[in-house]
Structure 1
Amino acid sequence: MPHTEIDHLVIAADSLAQGAAWCEATLGVASLPGGVHALMGTHNRLLNLSSAGAPQCYLEIIAIDPDAPAPARARWFGLDQPALQARLREQGPELVAYVARSAMVEMHRHGLIQSRLQPGPLLRASRQTAQGVLEWQIVVPDDGLPLAGGAVPTLIQWSGLHPTAAMPDSGVSLKLLTVRGLPDQAAQVLRLRPAVRREALPGAALSVTLNTPRGEVALSSHC
C-alpha cells in the first residue's frame, strides 16, 4: 500500500473573523484569505506550515459560510454538530481534524473500509483562487464526523495545483502530531508521513505542536 502524507490541519471557527483573530493571538501571524466551498456551504482562511519535514502542509481555518445555502448533506469536519457550534461560540476556535494526502485515494479509502471503518463516499470539490481553480477529491463520512474522533485523517487527493503553491512562508511549522485511537490496521493502510506519534486513549484524539514566532504552541481536539 502506498503511503499518505499529512496535508493540513483543520481549525473550526464560529466565523472567519473569529478564526483570523485567534490565529494572530495564538500563533502570532496573520492567516491568508482562502475561498468558498459551494459543495459544503463553508469558507476558509489558510496558513502555510510547510517545512523540510512536512512539505506541502498548511493550516486551514474553516467556518460555515452564513451567505451560502445549506448543503444537501452533512458538512465536513462535524461543523453541523450543535455541541461543536456551542463550543466555538463560547470558547473559540478548535482543532477538529487533520487531512492526509494520497496519490491513490480510492485505494486508501477501501483500505479503511477493510479496517472496519466507514470513511464515506469520495466527493469531488473545487474552489476558485487567483492562481486558478483548485480541484480535489475528498472522502467524507455520511454524518460528516471525523473518524475515531479525529484520530483517523480525512483523505484527500489533489488534481494539479496544491494550495501551498501560492502561500508565502509564514514562520509557523508543524513539529509534532499525536493521535490517540488510531486503529493498528488503519495505521498500516495509511502509512502516514511524517510519522505521527500514536498514544493510547484516554485523552484528546488529536494533538499538535507548532513552531511559531512565539515559541512552541500546543493545540488539542476536544476530549
Structure 2
Amino acid sequence: MLELDHIAIAGATLEEAVAHVEAALGCALGPVGHHAHMGTHNRLLGLGRDVYLEAIAIDPAAPAPAWPRWFRLDEFSGPPRLTNWILRTDDLDAALAAAPAGAGVATALARGDFRWRMGIPADGRLPFDDAHPALIEWRGGLKPQDRLAETGCRLVRLEVAHPEAEALDAALPFRDPRVVLVSGTRALRASFSTPHGQRSLE
C-alpha cells in the first residue's frame, strides 16, 4: 500500500527554498535538519497528521557525497520550486520491485531518532523525468509527521503533470483524492488551505 508522505520544494540554497514556502503559505517552517549521507539539509512544515512539506537544498557545510544527491539537487538551478513527491510504504522492497526501472535502490538512512529506508536512484533521476514519486519506508514506528507542530495548513490538491501521465498513472498502485495526474509539460503544482486562505505553490 502506498500513501502520500511528503512533498519537496528544492532551492539553490535552503534559505531561498524556505523563503519561497513561507511567502506563499504564510506559515513558518521548523528547525534545520541534516542528511549526512546526501550532504543536504532541510526544514519541514506539518500539513496535518499524514503529510508534510520539506524545503531542501545542498548543505554547503557538509562534505559532498561520492554519489548523486537525491531529487537531482546536484543539477538544481533557478528559483525555488516544487520538484518531487514522496510516497510511503510499509514494504519498500516490494514497492520498488513493482515500480518502473530506475525507481531506486533501498538505502538505509537515519537522522536523530528517525530511521527510514528510501529508494534512491543510482543516477539521482527518478522515472518519468522525476514525475514518478520517490518511495520511502519509515522504521520503528516514528515519522516526522508525529512530531511536527500544528500549523493550520493542509494540502488540498497536488497536481502532477507529465506528457505520459496515463503511463505514470498505470505504473502507480496508488490513489488519493488530493493527487491528480494530468497530461502536459512536466510540472508539479500544489494548493493548500491555510489560516490565511487558499494558497498555492509550484
Aligned to 1:158, which of 138, 141, 152?
138
Q: Equivalents in 2 of 1:203, 1:194: separation in Å?
A: 22
- TM-score, structure 2 normalization: 0.90
- Residues 25, 200 of structure 2: 8 Å contact kept: no
Q: Equivalents in 2 of 1:211, 1:10: separation in Å?
A: 18
Query: Deviation above 4 Å: which 4+ runs of structure 1?
Result: none
Q: Does 1:121 align with 2:108?
A: no
Identity level (%): 38
- Residues 24, 200 of structure 2: 8 Å contact kept: no
- The structure where helix makes up a greater share of residues is 1
Q: CA deviation at 1:138?
A: 0.3
Q: CA deviation at 1:194?
A: 4.6
Q: 1:198 to 1:24 in 2, by over 3 A?
A: closer
1:191 is aligned to 174
Q: 1:216 to 1:171 in 2, by over 3 A?
A: same
Q: Equivalents in 2 of 1:64, 1:178: separation in Å?
A: 26
Q: Which runs of 5+ in 1 are unaligned?
A: none
**What is the total number of aligned residue pairs between the two structures?**
197
Q: 1:14 to 1:105 in 2, by over 3 A?
A: same
Q: Equivalents in 2 of 1:147, 1:34: separation in Å?
A: 29
2:86 is aligned to 99
1:7 is aligned to 5
Q: 1:63 to 1:184 in 2, by over 3 A?
A: closer
- TM-score, structure 1 normalization: 0.82
Q: Which runs of 5+ in 2 are unaligned?
A: none
Secondary structure at the aligned position of 1:61 is classed as strand
2:39 is aligned to 41
- Residues 98, 153 of structure 1: 8 Å contact kept: yes
- Residues 56, 162 of structure 1: 8 Å contact kept: no
Q: 1:149 to 1:175 in 2, by over 3 A?
A: same
Q: Aligned Cα RMSD in Å?
A: 1.6
